[in-house]
Chains A and B, each alone.
Chain A
């Protein structure tokens, strides 16, 4: 079945440093979504990318979808303590599993003030 791998599993940075998490799917995705889960909270939708090679920005966050629609990345510029949490990527397969969203295991980001 479809697998979504995410690296790194953990990342600790000093406030002000940049952060990147990478997501790779075993199969082509129809779209990729990113979620953030604060400690003790629930996943919150951040963004969806649909087109091959798409790049979207939300303030200090930059999201990319690979040309082959099998990989994605999330980059945070100049991290802040409010960025702490686990970032998940998730994708719908491009075949018959369009109703099943497969999540990566997430990257836990901690920020030292």
Chain B
């Protein structure tokens, strides 16, 4: 069974731009969650989707948004990028309480 797939793996953006990250969950998993990982703050919860509905949201500004499609694939978008948005963005899918992380998308904002 294929794991969680995230694209792109690496990207560099300029301050003020926007970015869209994509996540394909494990087949059969309907829950997708997103996390931001930085050296200083660790793993921080962004949001979680189940059957195209956002069930929970972390404490991030409105520049961070997401959505889930009918095939459970998910995207997250960050608008008006700031230098502090540079991080590893991890997507995870789950069936039950166990979550499985993708390899992440490394975003650098310059």
Chain A contacts to B: CB under 8 angstroms:
1, 31, 33, 41-45, 48, 88, 90, 92, 97, 99-106
**Main secondary structure on B side of the interface with A:** strand
Instruction: State whether A43 and B43 are in contact (beta carbons under 8 Å apart), knowing that A97-B56, A100-B58 are contacts in the complex.
Output: yes
User: Which A residues lie within 8 Å of B50 (CB)?
Assistant: 99
**Contact flags (1/0) for B71-96 with A, using CB distance below 8 Å?**
00000000000000000001000000
Q: Is the CB of A99 within 8 A of B90?
A: no
Chain A residues closer than 8 Å to B90, beta-carbon distance: 42-43
B40-58 interface bits toward A, Cβ cutoff 8 Å, 1 = contact, 0 = none: 0111110010100001101
List the one stretch of B11-19, B20-28, B61-69, B99-107 in contact with chain A: B99-107
What residues on A are CB-neighbors of B101 within 8 Å? 42-44
In the assembled complex, the Cα of A53 lies from the Cα of B62 at a distance in Å of 40
10 A-B pairs with CB atoms under 8 Å apart are: A31-B97, A33-B97, A88-B43, A100-B48, A103-B42, A103-B45, A105-B41, A105-B42, A106-B42, A106-B43
| Interface presence of B70 (CB below 8 A) | no
Chain B residue numbers with a CB within 8 Å of A48 are 97-98
Question: B99 near A101 (CB under 8 angstroms)?
Answer: yes
Q: Which 9 A-B pairs have the closest CB atoms?
A: A105-B42, A103-B43, A99-B56, A42-B101, A99-B55, A100-B56, A99-B48, A43-B101, A42-B103
